[in-house]
Amino acid sequence: MFTQIAQYLIETVAGFFVFVLLARFHLQWLRAPFRNPLGEFVVTVSNWLVLPARRVIPPLRQIDLASLVGAWLVQFAGLWAVYSVHGHDLLAVPAFAALGALALVDLLRYSLYLLIAAVIVQAVLSWVNPYTPLAPVFGAVARPFLRPIRRVLPPIANVDLSPLVLLVVLNVLLIPVGYARGLVAAM
């Protein structure tokens, strides 16, 4: 019972910070506006790790590597803590390498989850209230991925099916990522 409670708490706290750090990375990479409640929340919650990390990890061509490396480190630490609670010996080099690879696959999986959420929220906001302060944020995240689909599949009778197609593609991409996670976790 203790291990289940500890695992839940570790995964919840680590997952929260990983998602916030990944959101910060993707918002900066996609040049989404930060002058809104969501952007300010992401920056405020993640500054404790990103600002000190920027002293050591410089950006790479406008890509904030400090946020990405921070997300990877938090996910690695969370996985290490979960496996340690379950009694696994993780001090060997192969175990560290496997946890590092597993954390990397998890970042890819979580990035797909963030994109799925952004597409859904962007589509709903475009129907309900396209002028809300958060609409430009979700539009900036979803638009680069929707644009190629819109070139191939234009709106049909003023109904844009590109978010639906993108959601199908993203969910299909989650299948091999989940398979890769299973392979890496078996190591």
> Stretch 11-24: mean pLDDT, rounded?
96
Q: Which of 113, 93, 89 is nearest to 101 (CA)?
A: 93
84 confidence band (pLDDT: 50, 70, 90): confident
CA 27, CA 49: separation in Å to the nearest integer? 17
| Beta carbons within 8 Å of 137's beta carbon, 6+ residues apart | 27, 32, 33, 36, 38, 39
User: In the chain, which ranges are continuous DSSP H helix?
Assistant: 2-29, 37-56, 65-85, 93-128, 135-152, 162-185
Number of residues in the chain: 187
CA 152, CA 177: separation in Å to the nearest integer? 26
Tell whether the model's pLDDT for residue 64 goes beyond 90: no
Tell whether the model's pLDDT for residue 11 goes beyond 80: yes
pLDDT score at 92: 64
Supply the range of the domain harboring residue 129. 2-185
Task: Phi first, then psi: give them for residue 63, nearest 5 degrees.
Answer: -105, 125
Other Cβ atoms within 10 Å of 5 Cβ, number:
10
20-45, pLDDT tens digit by residue? 999 999 999 998 888 889 999 999 99
Domain count, the chain: 1
State the DSSP code for 35.
Answer: S
89-127, pLDDT tens digit by residue? 766 667 788 889 999 999 999 999 999 999 999 999 988
131-178, pLDDT tens digit by residue? 888 899 999 999 999 999 999 988 888 888 999 999 999 999 999 999
Tell whether the model's pLDDT for residue 187 goes beyond 80: no
